[in-house]
With several copies, the nearest count.
Chain A
């Protein structure tokens, strides 16, 4: 079923905004963060206006309501990615914290000097730096699956690296620069055959197409609420219950304990073991509303819409002189990074901004990938369910203006 983009746009107040007088916003930066529909904002407002309280330890009505709302979202998230149980859903701040959590708990207790972790050249800094920090501390070796000129992972290299018996393989489901959607299920299967666990960075996947962690058989899976219509300050770590159960706690404090003496404590059961202190309660509620909104439209429909829109954009952009798109055409999500002749990406973004079009310019937190391609920065347009063909046309128009200006 096609999306009614006009209707959808009207659900997002910010999309009615003008950037300067008479210049309406075209938002093409959803890979950085998504906009929020009014229902998500309302859910949080309503929480604060009606049910706000600290959770878990309270007997009074507000505390019971807040706890219920907070925990119901866990079930919703579990259902959304088809986890077996809500115990497998850990609330974090963002994808970045989810990955750090695994590195600092599972990694610290299960890895030893000389152990190998396999990553890829297309990773976001969030899936590089936590492992670099761990590697430096524990003297591990990091190995990297290379990226082909087409922007795909080199599976031959991947298989060779698996022969070295890595303990963990961690990679992104979809590249936030190339748009490449990696063959995650196949790669996880290969990793498991080689005896490695798998951590998947789902920051760009969960918002855009259906993800089934059990079908993928992922051991850990991370994503952020703010990229999927939800609030800032909220993220998810999925982990298989057996793995999470065996991991030590991450941070210490209230709620993650069963019992505390002066010099020792007994950690709480899952999922609370990993959630120390007063959590982001309103933000959980916001994510719940975001998931409802996404599910009402249907993740399959959203994926199809973005796929068609991206094909259209790809087509249109390919016709522009001196414009080079990074990454292969097939199997791509709605992210297009490009170079435009001699014009620096910052200038491209700025000229587009003057016409109301918001794209991102820079290294998109993937410096090594840019280094590999020999450019410090690219311009990046990214799409979501609220983008229309007209938005793409305005992008193309804007790019042509920039080209002319520098022509």
Chain B
């Protein structure tokens, strides 16, 4: 087994838990990685206390981007919006448990970027996104 592609990553890629679309949902946002064309859409249900009650992602991408999306959604369900805003690059890297070069980092962070962009409202706080 390649130490880079941890079993967890391949497992989540092949058998994602949160893949799909939510119907109904009250939040949805999507974007793509211009370098590779990978595309991710995230649907959420957010209750009146700003708590994320359910989540799903769709789209296509590499194992890194798909697994990190799946792991990310697992993490945020049950959290509120402010807690999600506090999630950083490092959180994702810890979830994945591997080190990444600059190009693959973009894959890993795509789902977080989509999630945050959606939550902040398009372009609302670009600063926080600038180094994702």
Contact = CB atoms under 8 A, between A and B. Distances in A.
A164 interface: no
12 contacts: A57-B35, A57-B36, A58-B103, A67-B103, A258-B34, A344-B60, A344-B63, A346-B104, A351-B5, A377-B36, A405-B5, A406-B14
Contacts of B34: 258-259, 268-269
Contacts of A271: none
Interface residues of B, number: 24
A404 to B, nearest CB: 9
B4 interface: yes
B102 A362 contact: no
Nearest to A355: B2
A342 interface: yes
Interface in A341-374: 342-347, 350-351, 354, 361-363, 367, 370
B14 A342 contact: yes
A59 B64 contact: no
A363 B101 contact: no
Given A362-B36, A376-B38, A405 B10 contact: yes
B86 interface: no
A59 B1 CA distance: 20
A405 B2 contact: yes
B62 interface: yes
Nearest to A259: B34
B103 A63 contact: yes
A59 B2 contact: no
A362 B14 contact: no
B101 to A, nearest CB: 4
Interface string B47-72: 00000000000001111101000000
B37 A346 contact: no
A268 B33 CA distance: 11
Contacts of B104: 59, 346, 350
Contacts, number: 74
B115 to A, nearest CB: 20
Contacts of B96: none
B114 interface: no
A114 interface: no
Contact of B2 (A58, A345, A351): A351
Contact of B64 (A67, A258, A347, A367): A347
A342 B5 CA distance: 15
Interface of A: 56-59, 61, 63-64, 67-68, 258-259, 268-269, 342-347, 350-351, 354, 361-363, 367, 370, 376-377, 401, 405-406
Contacts of A347: 5, 13, 62-64
Interface in B54-111: 60-64, 66, 101-104, 107
Contacts of A362: 35-37
B62 A346 contact: yes
Contacts of B36: 57, 346, 361-363, 376-377
Interface string B98-132: 00011110010000000000000000000000000
Nearest to B4: A354
Contacts of B101: 61, 64
Given A351-B2, A362-B37, 6 more contacts: A344-B60, A345-B62, A346-B38, A347-B5, A350-B5, A405-B2
Interface in B1-52: 1-2, 4-5, 10, 13-14, 34-39
Q: In this complex, which of A59, A269, A351, A354 has the most chain B Cβ atoms within 10 angstroms of its Cβ?
A: A59
A228 B89 CA distance: 38
Minimum-distance CB pairs A-B, first 4: A344-B62, A346-B62, A376-B37, A64-B101
A59 B64 CA distance: 13
A363 B2 contact: no
Contacts of A363: 36-37
A343 to B, nearest CB: 8
Nearest to B66: A344
A156 B34 CA distance: 35
B38 A64 contact: no
B108 to A, nearest CB: 11
A94 B101 CA distance: 28
Contacts of A376: 36-39, 60
A347 B98 CA distance: 14
A57 B38 CA distance: 13
Contacts of B1: 405
Given A59-B103, A68-B102, A401 B63 contact: no
B4 A406 contact: no
Contacts of B2: 351, 354, 401, 405
A268 B35 CA distance: 10
